[in-house]
Structure 1
Amino acid sequence: MSRSGRDPGTRVKTARGRSASSNRWLARQLNDPYVKQAKAEGWRSRAAFKLIELDTRFGLLRGARRVVDLGIAPGGWAQVVRKQSPQAEVVGIDLLPVEPIEGVTIFQMDFMADEAPPALLGALGGAPDLVISDMAANTVGHKATDHLRTMGLVETAVDFAVQTLAPGGAFVAKVFAGGTDGELLSILKRNFKTVKHAKPPASRKDSSEWYVIAQGFKGREEGN
């Protein structure tokens, strides 16, 4: 405790070879209540609370039967889906390896690859009624470049959702400050009854991430 009687939080001891930014990241992790709560409740990442909060607000998982999780690693969102909708078929994909999750089919492959969509749909056994994406491109430190790279992933995710969702389905994806760009927003509004942006409380205040939530998929004939 400090002399004022307040807990200053866990301090990180400096280590040889660890950068100042790494020390700041580690300190933030150690003092993050969502990280602590995730560990206590058995979630694989603090990101689980983002989907929980979005679901509480938008009812995304209510009645979900087939769910595709894009960028599934490390598996926190898939865990939430399994808990909230245990009857749902869940298929996920990521470049990174992911420890098995009961009831979830996981592909370690590039979502941008031509064979990825057929693999996902084949494992799902039908059209998804929910596509969720927490994908973000690896950052290079240049904000404009990082934004463009991540929006490229979002664009591909939107195309996948529009091509595969069952009528009435929903789509959720991570975007960044400024939200979805004009062209993508136009596509979403044309194909879904409602399109909103939200920043769940579990998103760090200093993070530029937002989420786009599109609900009530009109179907390919009605949307085009």
Structure 2
Amino acid sequence: MTGKKTPEKNNSGRGQRDLRVRVKTAKGRKLSSTLWLERQLNDPYVQRAKKEGYRGRAAYKILELDDRYGFLKPGARVVDLGCAPGGWCQVAVERVNALSQNPKKPQGTVLGVDLQEIEHIAGAELHQLDFLSDGADEQVKTWLGGRADVVMSDMAAAASGHKATDHLRIVALVEAALDFAFDVLEDGGTFVAKVLAGGAENSMQTMLKKNFKKVANVKPPASRSDSSEKFVVAMGYRGRDLNAADGAEDDADEDWPHKD
């Protein structure tokens, strides 16, 4: 891989360097791979993640969501579904004071689960587990020593290349995460998950509003503008009641300032 910077001229006619890194096409590398690599090298969130020690730019999505909605509270018990590579766990550890040595600060718990083995994260408890398997919810509650205050998921289904199929896979994965959250969340808890561009599906939105006091479908600034993802943040879990009245406050925020 070779980075190339090409000089440009500004309106005053003086030479000015273009600091954008451009990647030359390598033998055997597809154009799409080259463009992806070039975007990664020029992504300020990728650069910031490397500098600040996070395991990927996705960490800033949960940071921005928590800055706005404040669900990662000191002392909270957090479950991160599909947690690899671990950026969301890293943020949660910081926010719930799981690494604090100050006895006066509340000590939270961060539990990450994933199908694959995850490299150790200080302050987090990581387990290789399929959250869809029988008894996974009870196992998680045993590890936590009770119910969770937050269940969060940045999972994405493997792409097949067929748009309709991929859509169904994404919907099914989010629905499964929500069903899991119903089983392990404490009353008043929060569910955060990656969804589609339009936000949660209508049937899921109805379910969320029945079981949470406030539901937001948002796209944080760290989510690339050309990405189809959004995130649902459902707060104030009422306890699972499929027949509850639809009384949740709806915050479909389409105007969050976005920088890519």
- The bucket for the TM-score relative to the shorter chain is over 0.9
- Structure 2 counterpart SS, 1:205: coil
Residue in structure 2 matching 1:172, options 170, 179, 192: 192
When residues 212 and 221 of structure 1 are mapped into structure 2, their CA distance, relative to the original with a 3 A threshold, is closer
RMSD of the alignment, in Å? 1.6
Counterpart selection for 1:137 from 154, 157, 169: 157
**More strand per residue: 1 or 2?**
2
**Of Structure 1 and Structure 2, which has the larger fraction of its residues in helix?**
1
Structure 2 residue runs of 5 or longer lacking an equivalent are 1-5, 10-15, 98-106, 245-260
Q: CA deviation at 1:67?
A: 0.5
1:143–1:64 Cα change, 3 Å: farther
Cα offset for 1:98? Answer: 1.2
Q: Which has the larger radius of gyration?
A: 2
Cα drift, residue 72 of structure 1? 0.3
Structure 1 stretches lacking a partner, 5+ long: none
Whole-Å Cα distance in 2 between the matches of residues 133 and 64 of structure 1? Answer: 20
2:35 maps to: 24
Q: Residue type of the partner of 2:27?
A: R
With structure 1 as the length reference, what TM-score do the two structures score?
0.95
Residue 160 of structure 1: aligned partner:
180
In structure 2, what is the Cα distance between the partners aligned to 1:6 and 1:64?
49
Q: Give 1:47's aligned residue.
A: 58
* Residue in structure 2 matched with residue 209 of structure 1 by the alignment: 229
Corresponding residue of 2:83: 72
Distance 2:36 2:230 in 1: 20
For residues 128 and 222 of structure 1, what CA distance do their matches in structure 2 show?
20
Structure 1 residue 49 displacement after superposition: 0.4
**In the aligned structure 2, how far is the partner of 1:189 from the partner of 1:140?**
31
Structure 2 residue 110 is the aligned partner of structure 1 residue 90 = yes
Alpha-carbon distance, 1:201 to partner: 0.2
TM-score by length of 2: 0.82
| Shift, 1:83, TM fit | 0.8
Residue 4 of structure 2 is aligned to residue 2 of structure 1:
no
Q: Equivalents in 2 of 1:167, 1:57: separation in Å? A: 21
Report the alpha carbon displacement of residue 8 of structure 1 after superposing the two structures with TM: 5.0
Distance 2:49 2:243 in 1: 39
Counterpart-to-counterpart distance in 2, 1:146 and 1:221: 30
Measured in 2, the distance between the counterparts of 1:148 and 1:43 equals: 31
| Aligned: 1:37 with 2:37 | no
In 2 relative to 1, CA 215–49 (structure 1 residues): closer, same or farther, beyond 3 Å?
same
1:116-149 per-residue CA deviation (whole Å, 9 max, x = no partner) reads 2222221111100101110110111122211210
Tell me the CA shift for residue 103 of structure 1.
2.1
Asked whether the equivalents of residues 137 and 183 of structure 2 are also in contact (C-alpha less than 8 Å), the reply is no
Retained in 1: the 8 A contact 2:157–2:169? yes
Q: Is the 8 A contact 1:64 1:129 kept in 2?
A: no
